[in-house]
Chain A
């Protein structure tokens, strides 16, 4: 028994499909992309009874096989293509116990494809509290399918589900609703034209949204124009189909589903009255944001200090212990400080992902969509843009992918274009180190001043995103009217396992992706900083000795400063100094800016590498930055130059990966090019204004 079976997990959003997936696969899962598009593809392996292995594919959440978004289209394309290597042997439709009626609509559609289907009724632990009882035996008879009650929260029913999956061959493949009932004349004629094909599949191909430009559809258009008809005719038939399906579902539920609403507690209603209130809703939303940014500061200082010290010690150890043929200086001065510059932010990045995933899991995010839609529309966005904008505080890449739920192309494009203005976690390292340098660690009205400044910069990012959206909204041509239908899910306590898996998954990929770039840039920088072009670099000791200001005690320091200035790196930095001098930066910061155009989180690592080159005594990077002075003894990092630098990082487009994803999502180089040029210009002017204002 070595044959693997393919299992597709299908279900509406907010049904706890991911929890079922996590229970089936545990840590045996991986995330990738569908070829050519950026819809996230999660799959994993599950061991079934009797040694059978199942490949579980967690399909994107979908309400219906009549796709209205790119995510939903992935599901339809797979289920219509029998030759796809992922085509399921068995479909597991996940439903939640309270919205079972609507969930069954998707179930009857899947059944129409003649795939063996198992219905999972998730969150069965809520049944008693909601006064619901279900006769699953009767339901199995009526639906021609297996029905399993599962509680992902209490880990109940998962073993039964595994049994049913392994016995998929015994499950009926009969449809619930015969498609021909809907319109005898139309479907009768369709059947005569294509006698050997599944009527429902043909119907799905015919009605598939034209936007998705399906090849099969084009083929049908030429072969059988007769059945294509006008969109309004087809839509009327679709409505009729939906009514038929609901008639069937209502009849089934009448037989086997009882809800005693007197037992139900109205938690949703009570929470909604406050959380979606026109004043309190906003007050609470801002309080939550404030709490998150305070927590990012207050809770992470201990692990961050620990990591900081650990890397300094590691570097010291490497310098003295590593044999000389392994280039100890490269490792101790280039690679270790460079990596330390990213690892130190893991606590904060993990915490940010924690908050975002909790907000999504509890169902609160949809309430924010609801209360903000009207405001966002003034800026040419939709309430749905709030999710990308908030996710953008973690990383712009998943945030831009999350815009796929926005059906209206213009709203979606504007959201994609402005999302990189939100403060992503890669900016966090830059902000944190600069804030700790230039803002005193004091409390104002009980709030940490440093935390407040951090929050102001987050708000600045949002404000800039909205302003940019407004400008785009006014300059871009209007397109079709937008539909806005957002489900308001039930409030739920997040599942620890889901939250932890999200944090681990996202933090890991962030560190690995960023780590690769940082490692490469650290090595390159070290080489450039340790070598120089001319005789002046080689003769550094003699040149420094000739200098009048040198004394026995500062000889080493002067030597390393001289070397750096005359290295390749110093020459590059000096070259751009005239350009950045008005912003308040010296040539060393210039090098950090140039190197972080590929990825902004490189900034701290770069400074760590630059300042460490040639240093005998290791110090923490913060102390080195504070001690950095110009020739006349004035400090490099002042309030004016620090704020100016933060403004530059707030607005500049310094992320290759984001540009690549925008290219992919908009299918043109035009938009990423505009982003790069406009955002960098805004950053330069903003930093210029900031420095000039604060240095007066």
Chain B
């Protein structure tokens, strides 16, 4: 079972592992959502959606459905 960005808790960081390029908007990829980059969860909106993330230095808000498509791994592994 893969971990996804949607599983992260507020304040945690992880490394982006993989994703299906077709399921993500190009804009997100260009903002730094690329395998190997660091991602952190800064804040959750009410109902835990959307997510306020720091992705390789870019501060963005994305929806939970998008976050669930980005596989991550914890840094210490």
A102-B29 contact, Cβ under 8 Å, with A242-B34, A370-B45: no
A485-B42 contact, Cβ under 8 Å, with A101-B57, A272-B52, A383-B50: no
* In the complex, chain B residues 16-34 whose Cβ is within 8 Å of any chain A Cβ: 21-22, 25-32, 34
A232-B21 contact, Cβ under 8 Å, with A68-B27, A102-B32, A373-B45: yes
Residue among A243, A246, A272, A370 with most chain B CB within 10 A: A370
A105-B30 contact, Cβ under 8 Å, with A235-B21, A483-B25: yes
A374, CB-defined interface residue at 8 Å: yes
A-B contact count, CB below 8 Å? Answer: 110
* Cα(A105)–Cα(B63), bound, Å: 24
B43: chain A residues within 8 A (beta carbon): 272-273, 276-277, 370
A132, CB-defined interface residue at 8 Å: no
Do the beta carbons of B47 and A370 come within 8 Å of each other?
no
Do the beta carbons of A63 and B47 come within 8 Å of each other?
no
Contact with B along A259-277 (1 / 0, CB 8 A): 0000000001100110011
A183, CB-defined interface residue at 8 Å: no
A485-B45 contact, Cβ under 8 Å, with A101-B56, A235-B22: no
Interface residue total, chain A, C-beta cutoff 8 A: 43
A484, CB-defined interface residue at 8 Å: yes
Task: Name the CB-closest residue of B to A371.
Answer: B45
* Cα(A407)–Cα(B28), bound, Å: 13
A366-B61 contact, Cβ under 8 Å, with A64-B30, A276-B45: yes
* Cα(A646)–Cα(B31), bound, Å: 46
B22: chain A residues within 8 A (beta carbon): 231-232, 235
Picked from B42, B49, B57, B62, the residue with its CB within 8 Å of the CB of A102 is: B57
B60, CB-defined interface residue at 8 Å: yes
Query: Chain B binding site: helix, strand, loop or mixed by DSSP?
Result: mixed
B59, CB-defined interface residue at 8 Å: yes
A483-B47 contact, Cβ under 8 Å, with A66-B26, A101-B56, A369-B61: no
Do the beta carbons of B34 and A488 come within 8 Å of each other?
no
Chain A nearest Cβ from B68, distance in angstroms: 12
Do the beta carbons of B32 and A486 come within 8 Å of each other?
no
A484: chain B residues within 8 A (beta carbon): 50, 61-63, 66
Do the beta carbons of A483 and B61 come within 8 Å of each other?
no
Do the beta carbons of A246 and B34 come within 8 Å of each other?
yes
A620, CB-defined interface residue at 8 Å: no
* In the complex, chain A residues 393-442 whose Cβ is within 8 Å of any chain B Cβ: 407
A557, CB-defined interface residue at 8 Å: no
Do the beta carbons of A485 and B27 come within 8 Å of each other?
yes
A133, CB-defined interface residue at 8 Å: no
* In the complex, chain A residues 343-363 whose Cβ is within 8 Å of any chain B Cβ: none
A243: chain B residues within 8 A (beta carbon): 34
B30: chain A residues within 8 A (beta carbon): 63-64, 66, 102, 105, 242
A268: chain B residues within 8 A (beta carbon): 59
Do the beta carbons of B27 and A374 come within 8 Å of each other?
no
Do the beta carbons of A102 and B58 come within 8 Å of each other?
yes
Do the beta carbons of A101 and B49 come within 8 Å of each other?
no
A239, CB-defined interface residue at 8 Å: yes
Do the beta carbons of B21 and A374 come within 8 Å of each other?
no
* Cα(A374)–Cα(B27), bound, Å: 21
* Cα(A160)–Cα(B58), bound, Å: 29
Chain A nearest Cβ from B18, distance in angstroms: 12
A624, CB-defined interface residue at 8 Å: no
Task: Name the CB-closest residue of B to A373.
Answer: B50
A238, CB-defined interface residue at 8 Å: yes
Do the beta carbons of B58 and A373 come within 8 Å of each other?
no
Do the beta carbons of B56 and A374 come within 8 Å of each other?
no
Chain A nearest Cβ from B72, distance in angstroms: 17
Chain B nearest Cβ from A85, distance in angstroms: 30
* Cα(A242)–Cα(B35), bound, Å: 12
A374-B57 contact, Cβ under 8 Å, with A243-B34, A276-B52, A488-B52: no
* Cα(A101)–Cα(B46), bound, Å: 31
* Cα(A485)–Cα(B28), bound, Å: 7
Task: Name the CB-closest residue of B to A239.
Answer: B21
Picked from B21, B27, B32, B44, the residue with its CB within 8 Å of the CB of A483 is: B27
A99, CB-defined interface residue at 8 Å: yes
* Cα(A474)–Cα(B45), bound, Å: 24
A370-B26 contact, Cβ under 8 Å, with A232-B21, A485-B31, A486-B61: no
Task: Name the CB-closest residue of A to B23.
Answer: A481
Do the beta carbons of A236 and B21 come within 8 Å of each other?
yes
A101: chain B residues within 8 A (beta carbon): 32, 56-57
> Which 3 pairs across A and B sit closest by C-beta, in order of nearness?
A483-B25, A488-B59, A278-B46
Question: What are 23 of the A-B contact pairs (CB < 8 Å)?
Answer: A63-B27, A63-B31, A64-B26, A66-B26, A99-B58, A101-B56, A238-B26, A242-B29, A268-B59, A272-B52, A366-B61, A370-B45, A371-B46, A373-B49, A373-B61, A374-B45, A374-B46, A374-B50, A483-B66, A485-B31, A486-B62, A487-B59, A489-B59
Q: A483-B28, A485-B61 are in contact. List 20 more A-B contacts (CB 8 A).
A: A64-B27, A66-B27, A99-B58, A101-B32, A102-B57, A102-B58, A239-B29, A239-B34, A273-B43, A278-B45, A369-B61, A373-B45, A374-B47, A483-B27, A484-B61, A484-B62, A484-B63, A485-B25, A485-B60, A486-B60
A residues in contact (CB < 8 Å) with B: 63-64, 66, 68, 99, 101-102, 105, 231-232, 235-236, 238-239, 242-243, 246, 268-269, 272-273, 276-278, 282, 366, 369-371, 373-375, 383, 407, 481, 483-490
B residues in contact (CB < 8 Å) with A: 21-22, 25-32, 34, 42-47, 49-50, 52, 56-63, 65-66
